[in-house]
Every structure is written in structure tokens, then in C-alpha cells.
Amino acid sequence: MSWLKFVRYWLPAIVVVGGVISLVVIGTDWALEGAAGVVGAGLAIWMVNILFRIGASGDRERDQEEAARRYFDEHGHWPDDPSPSHRG
């Protein structure tokens, strides 16, 4: 198992399950508040991972756009457009 998968999926799941187990085992009003905080922390870990992946995908899109602009500067048309010799 890679560290990336552990941090993305298993760590938040372990934290959430730990909060639920603490609620069930202790079973008091204080445990309910503590378990809610722990479950919230697990969900926050999961959400930070999602937001990071969204931000990283934006970097890839910018890199692809920059490569397309360089291609346009060199060839005079966009990479996904047919070349002028094939247009007709």
C-alpha cells in the first residue's frame, strides 16, 4: 500500500471509525461531543485531500494550455484543429 492511498483514504476512515467506536464504547453525552469532533476531523482530512487534488488538476490544465500555446506559436494552428493542409 502506498503512502498516498493511506493518507487519502485509510487515514480519514480510521479517524472516523475511531470516533464512532469511542462513542459506542464510552456512551456518555461527553463522548457524543468528543466523537463528533473526531469524526469531523476525519472528514476534514478527507476534504483537504479532495481540495488538494482539485488544485493540482488546475496546475495540469495550465501546463496543457501553455503547451498548446507553444504549439500554436510554432505551427500557426491549435493542436486539436486540423492542419491548414488538411482543411480543404
pLDDT of 1 = 66
For residue 49, the enclosing domain spans 3-77
Taking the model in full, what pTM does it have?
A: 0.64
In tens, the pLDDT along 22-31 reads 989 998 888 8
- With helix as H, strand as E and coil as C, how does 12-35 read? HHHHHHHHHHHHHHHCCHHHHHHH
Contact 43, 13 (CB under 8 A): no
Confirm whether 86 is domain-assigned: no
Confirm whether 88 is domain-assigned: no
If one counts the domains in the chain, the total is 1
Confirm whether 30 is domain-assigned: yes
pLDDT of 78 = 84
